[in-house]
Amino acid sequence: MQTKDAGCLYLCATPIGNLEDITLRALRILKEADYIAAEDTRHTLKLLNHFDISKPLISYHEHNKNEKGPEIIEMIKKGYQVALVSDAGMPGISDPGADLVVLARQADVKVTIIPGPSAALSALVLSCLPAQRFVFEGFLPREKKQRRERIQRLKSEERTVIIYEAPHRLISLLQELLEILGDRRISIVRELTKIHEEALLMTIEQALSYFRDKQPKGEFVLVVEGADQTSPHRNFDEISIEEHLMEYVKSGLSKKEAIKQVAKDRDIPKSQVYPYSIGLDQE
């Protein structure tokens, strides 16, 4: 496929679990590319073998990006077509792909995107939390002080927040979120598009007790409700108790959970909310 002066960098999304999620265009580009730059060549080889694609691979990851990035750009300048894939999902989202895009732009090399799945957006739409306005935090800093500062800044963030986290750090992150943000709704989305996919909508406190009993396993995305949704400062007098209940039911809570949350928000007994929930089943 090498044509003089017509090299291009293809940012090629790959599945985040289910291999059927690869696009027809991604398959064509991977077949036509001269080289495939991959975050983990062994991982990508499995994907390529599955689709019967055989291509020279270039290793491009966090620890060699400064040396490999310029080499890849030089190859594209010579006219080679290079597809960049990450371990899963969209290259550039929480992986070194974004650095290569910057290098390509600086070198005036053509870059294009072959869009496809990303764990962040998939988790957001599955979360049942407001998806109209959101922020993506990716992985929070590993260093405790920096991480806590970042969470502190999220305290007044009104948009839904999307966070990536490794399973072995999930509980400590939930503890910090609870301590700094207070108890609010969170959707714990794991193993997207895989056999054990689940999206658990609960409060941070509930999530903590759930995962203290059940060891977190697999890949996780946390989708955290924005600040004003459960803030005690929100003026609930502006909406009726029925409307308040409906908001929660529409966002995925059961009737029982909605009653509990409304009572908590308004600081009134559940028995006072219950009569307003009777009509909800007919909605």
The C-alpha atoms of residue 25 and residue 23 are separated, in whole angstroms, by: 5
| Pairing mode, strands 81-85 and 220-224 | unpaired
Count interface residues toward ligand SAM (CB under 6 A).
22
Q: How far is the CB of 94 from ligand SAM (least distance, A)?
A: 4
The C-alpha atoms of residue 39 and residue 58 are separated, in whole angstroms, by: 9
Per DSSP, the three-state class of 59 is strand
Q: How far is the CB of 257 from ligand SAM (least distance, A)?
A: 24
Q: What's the full length of the chain, in residues?
A: 283
Among positive and negative, which fits the CA dihedral 262, 268, 273, 274?
positive
* Binders in 26-85 for ligand SAM, by CB under 6 A: none
* Binders in 109-128 for ligand SAM, by CB under 6 A: 118-120
Q: Which of 89, 96, 216, 226 lies at the binding interface for ligand SAM (CB under 6 A)?
A: 89
Q: What is the per-residue burial (b if ≥16 Cβ within 10 Å, else e) of 106-124?
A: eeebebeebebbbbbbbbb
| Pairing mode, strands 185-190 and 81-85 | unpaired
- What residues pair up with 162 in beta bridges, in sequence order? 136, 223
Q: Which of 22, 93, 104, 204 lies at the binding interface for ligand SAM (CB under 6 A)?
A: 93
Of 223 and 259, CB closest to ligand SAM = 223
Per rule CB under 6 A, is residue 154 in the interface with ligand SAM?
Answer: no
- Each residue 158-197 as x (binds ligand SAM by CB under 6 A) or -, in order, gives ------x-x-----------------------xxxxx---
Of 59 and 94, CB closest to ligand SAM = 94
Per rule CB under 6 A, is residue 88 in the interface with ligand SAM?
Answer: yes
Q: Are 93 and 138 in contact (CB under 8 A)?
A: yes
* Binders in 200-219 for ligand SAM, by CB under 6 A: 219
The Cα-based distances of 236 to 10, 69, 165, 228, 255 in angstroms read: 49, 53, 33, 11, 18
Of 79 and 218, CB closest to ligand SAM = 218
The contact set with ligand SAM (CB under 6 A) reads 16-17, 86, 88-90, 93-95, 118-120, 164, 166, 190-194, 219-221
